[in-house]
Structure 1
Amino acid sequence: MSTVSYKKAVNYAFNHKETLMNYLLDGRCEISNNAAERRAKTYVTGRKKFLFHDTADGATASAIVLSLIETAKANNLNIYHYLYTLLLYMPDYKNEPAGIKQLLPWSDFIKERCTGIIDIEKVRPEERGNLNI
């Protein structure tokens, strides 16, 4: 890196000090956005292959599904089991806030059913039971 580049970097940091220090307010924040960019890469690399991206509704549906997948990954869930569980229970609880809370990726209900190796074939729609709300 040349001296001019270092000067530009130092001047930038100095002029944006307050904004750059925001990440220190919360220990969970990272100094860079690399993790967010890696997660978005899944969508970016696949968007040309998606079948329904010729409409805004298709793009919205893909964005929702990919958001669910990335959130499941971030919470160390088995993605297949998480999506299966959502599709299994969501129709009955879509208008009940307590039911939706049970289906969030960090809930005990989901962690119980969607982490590790589970025989998902044993959970059939007719035998699913109710959410504990």
Structure 2
Amino acid sequence: MDNNQAENAIRRKNWLFSVSEAGAKANAICLSLAETAKTNGIDFYRYLVKLLTELPNLSIQQQPEILQDYMPWSKNI
């Protein structure tokens, strides 16, 4: 798996808006997710709504493999 396109899109000074190291890490995760979704032809807003609606109700701690169904490249998305 290669995410060079996502990383290149993120590098464009987005890190300047992060106040702390933790904020920069969270920002990088969100931007990477957004760019990966766009690369896979997914409407990012609808994808984000799906994630924020469904993930809190899943037993990810007991079954972490469930997350594979929510990746931008998953056929379930």
* Shorter-normalised TM range: 0.7 to 0.9
Larger Rg: 1
SS of residue in 1 equivalent to 2:13: helix
Q: TM-score, normalised by structure 2?
A: 0.74
Aligned to 1:13: none
1:84 and 1:38 map into 2 onto residues whose CA distance is: 20
2:75 and 2:9 map into 1 onto residues whose CA distance is: 29
What amino acid is aligned across from residue 64 of structure 2 in structure 1? P
Q: CA distance change for structure 1 residues 38 and 97 in 2, over 3 Å: closer, same or farther? A: closer
Shift of 1:59: 0.4
1:102 is aligned to 2:60: no
Query: Percent same amino acid at aligned positions?
Result: 34
Aligned to 2:35: 70
Q: Name which structure has the greater RCO, CA cutoff 8 Å, separation 6+.
A: 2
Aligned to 2:54: 89
Q: CA distance change for structure 1 residues 45 and 37 in 2, over 3 Å: closer, same or farther? A: farther
2:9–2:35 CA contact under 8 A, matched in 1: no
Shift of 1:37: 5.9
- Stretches of structure 2 lacking an aligned partner (at least 5 in a row): none
1:107 and 1:37 map into 2 onto residues whose CA distance is: 18
Equivalenced residue count is 74
1:54 and 1:97 map into 2 onto residues whose CA distance is: 31
**Residue deviations 1:36-76, cap 9 Å, x none?**
3675234423333x2xx121110010000011001101111
1:38 and 1:99 map into 2 onto residues whose CA distance is: 23
1:97 and 1:36 map into 2 onto residues whose CA distance is: 25
Q: Which runs of 4+ in 1 moved over 3 A?
A: none
